């Protein structure tokens, strides 16, 4: 039993306690691949989505130096036909790349040394297992000697944070290339891979870096948050798993969904951020645990890039809209950005955005991530972002002060600038205009779109947070009615009734314009009245 080769099952035993959410079904998917054409798997997902837990689980299951039945006999994997065939039957090489990077930084060694350090560490343990191996030859040759001369079992590689070198050495192409060459030597070597590698499982945040338009290690089957395919239910916690947790711990499922849901995959449905769900359960507190797992400046840096359309896109995202994104051109690193789509694709891989594969749109998934966007926008230095921020904050102030002309003017400006002529009068475009104009709502409000109320659906409703003394806002944007007509519709259909017991003042905001007027002359009007909650 070593540090990197056959590390045993203690690491998994430490986490497989009463709170462990059983994800051992993933082992069944890997068992189908061991020794076959699809045996090399790279499964990438965001930080704090259980990557290290999975690596420890796989190492404990396959490691031939221990008996792990007590850890798996009552788990989902035990119901698979392949369970006994593969449990504790292989040599395992388990590597956490971040550990090598940390050690190199402590010793002030260059990152370009890390691939050689990895090979040296693994080779030292091979030589302990096989003292007759040719110590003056390469790691790969020593491994082949061990398998052929000592009847050793082939190896299953488990590499956690595989992309740490790509991220940490983002400005050092030589270090990245040396690392990729190490991986190619293991997994794309016709004299070594078929003899020594039974399977490989790599996990990280980014998919494998592209070399031109192709993967730099082309034999891997890749699964990511953009296309997780059959691994979708293992990206995070499923709805069923979270529901069971909430029932067992008496936690509000509705709030759990609002805070940490929002990632959805075909044939799987809702997927939640595992780390945040468990923190909320343990702490009995719904909060953003995201900032504890990443640097505070990361998101701000990406959304402040001066790419055409990015500022508007960020406003749309914060306003609650989905945006189209082309994910195909991204090179899977942190520096090769060509424009807006590459930034959005990276944010999807980092977990800041959820991606709908069917509509090819990205959106902010939940309250936790919306907080991070709001924080970043307030700290941004981009002039366009600051301009939008100030305009939105001023719009809220004018609305609450019932400055009707100012509100009408700002909504008109946003409507003209942000809506193409073809969609100017569409109902969904009108709601988008409201959300874009009021996009800094997160400071004081929770936003509801098409809130079921009275005899219909209110376009957009902003309910103040419990610690805010701001009034609730019910907003209708209509065409070919006067602003008073929009207010009359709000009252006629009893939209305020659903929120009048919320404990706050309620302002009704009606905005209208003439849709048949010439482009650029569609003057908007506004009426703001306070609703009598005593009715």
Q: What is the secondary structure of 85-108 as a DSSP string? A: HHTT-BEEEEEEHHHHHHHHHHTT
The rounded distance, in Å, linking the Cα atoms of 326 and 335 is: 18
Q: Which residues contact 108 (CB under 8 A, 6 or more apart)?
A: none
pLDDT score recorded for residue 275: 94
Residue whose structure tokens are 């519709």: 489
Beta bridge partners of 471: none
Torsion on CA atoms 80, 273, 360, 349, rounded to nearest 10: -100
pLDDT score recorded for residue 455: 46
The per-residue pLDDT string of the chain (535 residues; one tens digit each, 9 = 90 and over) reads: 789 999 999 999 999 988 899 999 999 999 999 999 999 999 999 988 999 999 999 999 999 999 999 999 999 999 999 999 999 999 999 999 999 999 999 999 999 999 999 999 999 999 999 999 999 999 999 999 999 887 778 999 999 999 999 999 988 999 999 999 999 999 999 999 999 999 999 999 999 987 655 666 778 999 999 999 999 999 999 999 999 999 999 999 999 999 999 999 988 999 999 999 999 999 999 988 886 555 446 788 888 888 888 888 888 888 788 899 999 989 888 888 999 999 999 999 999 999 999 999 999 999 899 888 888 877 766 677 778 888 889 999 999 999 999 999 999 888 887 665 435 456 566 778 888 888 888 778 888 876 655 444 556 888 888 778 899 998 888 777 777 877 887 787 777 777 776 767 889 998 888 776 665 667 889 999 998 776 6
pLDDT score recorded for residue 83: 98
Distance of CA 467 to the CA centre of its chain: 29
Distance of CA 534 to the CA centre of its chain: 44
Write out pLDDT tens, residues 385-426.
Answer: 778 888 889 999 999 999 999 999 999 888 887 665 435 456
The rounded distance, in Å, linking the Cα atoms of 253 and 247 is: 8
Domains of the chain, each with CATH number or no CATH: 10-223 (3.40.50), 237-292 (no CATH), 296-379 (no CATH), 383-530 (no CATH)
Q: Encoding tokens for residue 170?
A: 């983002």
Region of residue 140 (phi > 0: left; psi between -120 and 50: alpha; otherwise: beta): alpha
C-beta of residue 512 within 8 angstroms of C-beta of residue 430: no
DSSP for 463-501, please give it.
EEPTT--PPEEEEEEEESS-HHHHHHHHHHTTGGGGTGG
Its pTM stands at 0.85
Residue whose structure tokens are 């590499």: 159
pLDDT score recorded for residue 408: 92
pLDDT score recorded for residue 431: 77
Q: Would you call 245 exposed, middle or buried from its count of C-beta atoms within 10 A (0-12, 13-18, 19+)? A: buried
| Kind plus residue range of the DSSP H or E element containing 177 | helix 173-187
Coil, strand or helix: which one is 313? helix
The rounded distance, in Å, linking the Cα atoms of 188 and 194 is: 9
The rounded distance, in Å, linking the Cα atoms of 496 and 109 is: 65
C-beta of residue 249 within 8 angstroms of C-beta of residue 281: yes
pLDDT score recorded for residue 214: 61
Given the DSSP bridges, would you call strands 269-272 and 237-238 parallel, antiparallel or unpaired?
A: antiparallel
Helix residue spans in 329-421 (DSSP H): 340-350, 367-379, 383-400, 404-418
């Amino acid at each position: 039993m070593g540090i990197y080769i056959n590390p045993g099952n203690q690491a998994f035993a430490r986490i497989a306690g009463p709170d462990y959410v059983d994800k051992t079904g993933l082992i069944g998917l890997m068992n189908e691949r061991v020794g076959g054409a699809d045996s090399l798997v790279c499964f990438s997902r965001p930080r704090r989505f259980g990557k290290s837990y999975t690596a420890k689980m796989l190492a404990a299951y396959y490691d031939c130096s221990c008996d792990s039945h007590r850890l798996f006999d009552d788990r989902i994997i035990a119901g698979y036909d392949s369970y006994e065939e593969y449990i504790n039957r292989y040599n395992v090489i388990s590597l956490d790349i971040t550990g090598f990077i940390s050690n190199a930084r402590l010793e002030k060694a260059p990152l370009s040394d890390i691939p050689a350090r990895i090979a040296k560490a693994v080779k030292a343990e091979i030589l302990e297992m096989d003292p007759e191996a040719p110590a003056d030859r390469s790691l790969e040759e020593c491994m082949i000697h061990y398998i052929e001369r000592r009847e050793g079992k082939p190896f299953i590689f488990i590499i956690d944070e595989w992309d740490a070198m790509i991220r940490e050495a983002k400005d050092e192409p030589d270090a990245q290339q040396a690392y990729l060459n190490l991986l190619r030597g293991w997994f794309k070597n016709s004299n070594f891979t078929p003899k020594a590698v039974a399977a490989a499982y790599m996990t990280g945040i980014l998919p494998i870096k592209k070399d031109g338009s192709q993967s730099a290690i082309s034999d891997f089957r890749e699964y990511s948050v953009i296309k997780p395919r059959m691994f979708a239910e293992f990206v995070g916690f499923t709805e069923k798993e979270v529901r069971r947790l909430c029932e067992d711990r008496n936690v509000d499922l509705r709030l759990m969904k609002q805070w940490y849901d929002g990632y959805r995959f075909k044939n799987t449905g809702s997927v939640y951020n595992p780390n945040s769900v468990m923190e909320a359960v343990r702490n009995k507190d719904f909060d953003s645990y995201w900032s504890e797992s990443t640097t505070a400046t990361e998101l701000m840096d990406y959304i402040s890039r001066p790419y055409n359309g990015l500022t508007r896109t960020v406003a749309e995202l914060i306003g609650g809209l989905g945006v189209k994104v082309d994910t195909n051109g991204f090179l899977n690193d942190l520096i090769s950005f060509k424009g807006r789509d590459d930034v959005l694709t990276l944010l999807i891989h980092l977990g800041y955005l959820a991606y709908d594969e069917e509509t090819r749109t990205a959106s902010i998934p939940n309250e936790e991530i919306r907080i991070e966007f709001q924080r970043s926008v307030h700290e941004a230095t981009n002039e366009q972002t600051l301009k939008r921020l100030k305009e939105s904050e001023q719009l809220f102030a004018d609305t609450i002060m019932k400055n009707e002309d100012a509100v009408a003017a700002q909504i008109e400006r946003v409507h003209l600038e942000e809506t193409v002529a073809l969609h100017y009068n569409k109902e969904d475009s009108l709601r988008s205009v409201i959300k874009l104009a009021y996009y800094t709502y997160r400071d004081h409000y929770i936003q509801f779109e098409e809130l079921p109320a009275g005899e219909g659906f209110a376009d957009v409703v902003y309910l103040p947070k419990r610690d805010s003394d701001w009034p609730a806002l019910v907003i209708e944007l209509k065409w070919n009615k006067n602003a008073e007509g929009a207010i009359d519709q709000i009252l006629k259909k009893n939209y305020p009734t659903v929120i009048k017991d919320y404990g706050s003042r309620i302002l009704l905001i009606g905005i209208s314009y003439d849709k048949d007027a010439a482009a650029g002359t569609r003057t908007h009007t506004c009426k703001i009245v306070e609703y009598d909650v005593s009715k």
